[in-house]
Structure 1
Amino acid sequence: MATTKTELSFEGERELVTEARAHELVQTYADAEAQPPAFTHITLRNKSYTIEAARVIAAFFSRLEARGAFAQLTSVDFADMIAGRPEDEALQVLATLCDALSAIKTLTRIDLSDNALGEKGVRACFGLLQEQEQLQHMYFCNNGISAAAAGVIAQEVLLFRGQDTPTKLETFHFYNNMSGDGGAIALAKLLPLSPALKDLRFSATRAQREGSLTFAKALASLKKLEKLDLSDNTFKPQGGEAIAAAVKNMPNLVEVNLRDAAIEDDGLVAIAGALREGGAAKALTTLDVSGNDLTAEGMLALGHMLRESAALRVLQVEENEIGSKGAKIIAKALKVGSPALEKVVANVNEIGASGALALVKAVVDKKAFVKLDIDGNQISADGVASIESLLESKNKDTNSDAAAPVVVTTLPSMNPPLFFEIVEDLVYRSNKCDATSFPFLATLQLNTVVYLSYDDLSRDLAAFFAEKEINVIHLGMKYRTASSQWKGISEGMAKETIEYILDQRRHPILVMCKTGVHFAGTMIGCLRRLQNWSLTSTIDKYRNIAGSVKTRFENEQFIELFDVDLVTLPQQLPSWFTVHQRLTEEERIALSRGEFFPGRTLAKVEEQPKKEPPQLDAKTENEVRPEIEEVPAEATETPVLAYQKYFFYLQGPLVSSSVKFSEKKSIIGDDDDD
């Protein structure tokens, strides 16, 4: 009788698996252990295992292997299984479980994503990783992998047979790591020896120009690629040209993601032309070129490609500067091409009413089309009305052969700008909004707007600020003029922005950039550094607002390295800043006196009499016990840690369980819940 092939998986909710719980999970496979099937896939993901639990599971694996249960094993998913474990224990867990499968050399798929690995973590997994000659699919996503660890993966794991023997890799995903230029250069050596590669994701690696360019040039060796994701790396136009040279020989490409790749117009022109010339444009289903500082010039080349993109379903060009001119170029191309199109995303592109209307007209009659995103542009109220009127007239057609109703995202008349945030009292940040947000902005009674992007304000926005007598400080233009090639953030810009924010005479103040994410978010991050927020909380706040697809490593790096000593404090500081500084200084003084809490020293804590727990006799031991009253902080044996506002980093954990909330509140006052 044929042996049943199956999967070994500890299903259920996310949990910490202890030794006892591991025995319970293993017991669910008691029948399988007695008569083991031929397992083809093992997954331990979405749980966190202690070292004791890992030993129990490793012993279970050994018993199954001895009975031949892993003879046909081809896939192991060990993603996300050491969350919250101390480093030493996490490394032991990885080594214990991977070593238990070290005799298995039939694997074609390994996923170690969402584990904090680093070089030591990669080496801890050698029992699973090494000498896998049949390996076809490898995933290292969100692992915190360094340049050294990337080198280990390339040379000791995937190229272990030497530089003359190609791998069998078809999928390689390497996302959200810290490998930088060194990692990009190390992994670039892998590409010429992976001729079968079909699915490549090399994104959010913190690679700058040198590493990105080296990796881009190495792509030329890949001829069978179908999916290519190079998002969130710094390729610049030169790297874009190298990508173009590579994709010219990739006729099977169906998905291309170049979001936040800094390719600019020159890079896009080269890539779009290469996709046409190589034949991939006809089969392409998904293209994302968002966040690349593209203008109408780049849209000309993209438009030529779109005319030939018969299979294209999703086009994303958001967070660029294509304007109405660029939108009309795209609309004209989509009108005659891309019959299978389902979705277009063109948010935050300085598109006016005429450009938006052109896009709507281009897609409204396409039978497969579902959604057009054009939020965050400069569409007038009359323009919105024209779009709504057009859609209403089209949607009245009830013919069964008519196109499905198109959904166009529009903004209500009283709507905050995209990425609007109350930073502190009378301090705000947002994107470069359009007329639909003017009623909301009017309620803020702004005194000052600091605009950080280098492009001009729209006529409507400039007129609105003039009408409301709002002082506009265009720092982006100032620093753009200082260096004609500048397209990023400088220390001078950060210094001036923070000084404007801290000058109470300019409040209420709005910090604005084109997207509301990159420039404005970075400036607020630098402000938080000056306020003594911990770096972890500062970056976390930036990421929460930016979202996973809009975060940029270069912005996070700028926040981390910004020299707060450059800032000259204005004479009239806002109270929220002075209170923060006072609390910080009070804690510094307390710590210098050896106090764990203002007025509390370790000696005073140790002097507190110890309370003996109540003695229970046999009669009362099994009775329902009354709730124990909360013990005051003054009566605890554990020293009370100094408390700062919860984002400060000078002393102790973010939250001290031995300090009541009321006691904290008496020190910091009411908070803004930021």
Structure 2
Amino acid sequence: ATATATEGRAAMSVRSMEAGDEGQWELPASARSSAREGLMHAVRSLCELRGVKVAEETALETGRKIEEKAYTAAQVDSRTTTGRRPDAETVQIYARKAGRLVVDAVESIEKGGGTSAAKEAGAGAGGVTEFLDLCDGNREFVTAETARELFAPILGVQDPSAQTVKKIKLSTKSFGVDAAEVAAEAFAACRETLEDLDLSDVIAGRPEAEAMKSLKCLCDSVAGLSLKALDLSDNALGEKGIVACSTALTTQKTLESIAFRNIGCSVAACKAINNLLACKQTLKKLHLYNNMSDDEGAFAIASLIETTPKMEDFMMVSSRVKAEGGQRLAKALAGKPLVSLDLHDNILGAETAGALVQTLKDQPRLKHLNLSEACLEDEGTILVCQGLFQAAPELETVSLAANDITDNAVTALAQGLQGKARLRAVFLEENYDIGEEAQQWLRAQLPNVAIRFDEEEELDIDFGKMKI
């Protein structure tokens, strides 16, 4: 009922707007004020039905916060990759979001939790925790005022020595410049303790110029920190975005982990990362995923890897890398102390598999290998198994799904994977030409290993904290 009433008020106002408006979706101030009043009454009425009395001032403030969150969430979702969503759909998003938030607020009030920003941000009863996670599943445009509420667990600490936050995650909150400046204050406030900063998905729905300014503000504020991990994933960066992040890349000289997943990492962006990254001597983990890097981008990343003596965890997935780029990456990874290697969903072919033979032979710590969807076929699969033969004694999982493997490579699979005491799972689904007899034979050769040939087959295997 709350959602329906809110939708009705908003729809009447939207219909009064000029047709054909292709700018940002918005509602008149009068419509938003009316919605806030309706939300206030909804909060009070629902609380009274549950036997909880709420002061008018508290209900009014709660209604204001709910409307603000619902409005910013609707603005984020009003834009699609092809333009602006129909106004009627956006109004429904606005109304549904408001309705859900009313229910959440009433439940929180009933439990005695109130609606404090500290609770929404994940702070414990004792105040600031070690992990401030703003990713609550609610997409919203963050204003400076909202940012101060979200960062209250940090900004509210008067004594700098009392700060304990080691990790901050901002994902799904879209920051404008004003909000980014507040975030910068929070980063500075916990600069002595902050080690892990997740800036993934923080500019969604913003016009490019504003998004780049916000991103630059967030990354410039990193200069005074000593981070171990930084995540810039799920931001539409491209080369411009990498340049906007340049301060973070050039000043963080002791980073151990950095991620660029789904950022539009073009050839030029890969080159910029190689040129700007200052943590090559300490870097252990580099993740790139769902980018348009191609072979030339892989060449730039290979050059970077050559200068990272501690590389343990490398991922370059769904990045349009072909045989030449794959071979360069394989050679660059030779001699690195790898624990996890993931190159799946690239057109690597047998040529890359051949280059990986020597790389895999010299991996005493390797635990996880993913070369699924890599166009290996039988020839490439046999080469990979040659690399694993009497090597990688710590190996726990191998993924070779969707490689057009046939019965002809099954003997090589058994030879390459036998004798590995820690091996628990081999993923071979979508290799439709491995017959049932060959499947049974391979299972007999690896009796203590769960082997999946069917993607519907479930494996229940524990790896400490990881469960497949």
TM-score, length of structure 1 as denominator length? 0.47
- Residue 51 of structure 1 corresponds to 177
- Specify the SS of the correspondent of 2:194: coil
- Residue 201 of structure 2 corresponds to 80
Q: Of the candidates 288, 297, 320, which is equivalent to residue 431 of structure 2?
A: 320
CA contact (8 A) 2:295 2:321 kept: yes
Write the letter of the residue equivalent to 1:101. V
Q: Name the CA distance, whole Å, in 2 between partners of 1:228 and 1:58.
A: 34
Change (3 A) 1:33 1:142: farther
Alignment of 1:249-268 (within 5 A): 249-268=362-381
Q: Of the candidates 252, 258, 262, which is equivalent to residue 138 of structure 1?
A: 258
- Residue 147 of structure 2 corresponds to 22
Q: Name the CA distance, whole Å, in 2 between partners of 1:148 and 1:236.
A: 25
- Structure having the higher Rg: 1
- Specify the SS of the correspondent of 2:168: strand
Q: Name the CA distance, whole Å, in 1 between partners of 2:187 and 2:414.
A: 56
Alignment of 1:488-637 (within 5 A): none
Q: Of the candidates 345, 351, 366, which is equivalent to residue 232 of structure 1?
A: 345
Q: Is 1:288 paired with 2:399?
A: yes
Alignment of 1:184-333 (within 5 A): 184-222=298-336, 224-278=337-391, 280=392, 282-324=393-435, 327-333=436-442
Structure 2: which 5+ residue stretches go unaligned?
1-127, 462-468
Cα displacement (A) at 1:28: 4.4
Q: Name the CA distance, whole Å, in 2 between partners of 1:254 and 1:51.
A: 42
Change (3 A) 1:331 1:158: farther
- Residue 504 of structure 1 corresponds to none
Cα displacement (A) at 1:254: 1.2
Cα displacement (A) at 1:78: 0.6
Cα displacement (A) at 1:81: 0.8
Q: Give aligned-pair identity as a percent.
A: 33
Change (3 A) 1:61 1:285: closer
Cα displacement (A) at 1:369: 6.6
CA contact (8 A) 1:310 1:337 kept: no
Cα displacement (A) at 1:123: 1.2
- Residue 68 of structure 2 corresponds to none
Q: Name the CA distance, whole Å, in 1 between partners of 2:159 and 2:193.
A: 18
Q: Name the CA distance, whole Å, in 2 between partners of 1:123 and 1:296.
A: 49
Write the letter of the residue equivalent to 1:276. F
User: Alpha-carbon deviations, 1:521-580, whole Å to 9, x = none?
Assistant: xxxxxxxxxxxxxxxxxxxxxxxxxxxxxxxxxxxxxxxxxxxxxxxxxxxxxxxxxxxx
User: Alpha-carbon deviations, 1:197-243, whole Å to 9, x = none?
Assistant: 11111111111222222222222232x10111010111111111111
- What's the Cα RMSD here? 2.5
User: Alpha-carbon deviations, 1:285-330, whole Å to 9, x = none?
Assistant: 2111111121111112002234323322222112224342xx4334
Structure (1/2) with the larger helix percentage: 2
Q: Is 1:345 paired with 2:465?
A: no
CA contact (8 A) 1:99 1:125 kept: yes
Cα displacement (A) at 1:337: 2.6
Cα displacement (A) at 1:120: 0.9
Q: Which of structures 1 and 2 has the larger relative contact order (alpha carbons within 8 angstroms, sep 6+)? A: 2
- Specify the SS of the correspondent of 1:88: helix
User: Alpha-carbon deviations, 1:146-196, whole Å to 9, x = none?
Assistant: 11111111122147xxxxxx5211111111111111110000012222121
User: Alpha-carbon deviations, 1:587-643, whole Å to 9, x = none?
Assistant: xxxxxxxxxxxxxxxxxxxxxxxxxxxxxxxxxxxxxxxxxxxxxxxxxxxxxxxxx
Change (3 A) 1:333 1:235: same
Change (3 A) 1:346 1:307: farther
Structure 1: which 5+ residue stretches go unaligned?
160-165, 349-359, 361-367, 372-674
CA contact (8 A) 2:407 2:433 kept: yes
Write the letter of the residue equivalent to 2:131. E
Q: Name the CA distance, whole Å, in 1 between partners of 2:269 and 2:339.
A: 27
- Specify the SS of the correspondent of 2:224: coil
CA contact (8 A) 1:138 1:173 kept: yes
Q: Name the CA distance, whole Å, in 2 between partners of 1:175 and 1:33.
A: 40
Q: Name the CA distance, whole Å, in 2 between partners of 1:24 and 1:57.
A: 11
User: Alpha-carbon deviations, 1:247-292, whole Å to 9, x = none?
Assistant: 11112111110011112211111111211132x1x43221111111
- Specify the SS of the correspondent of 2:356: helix
- Residue 174 of structure 1 corresponds to 288
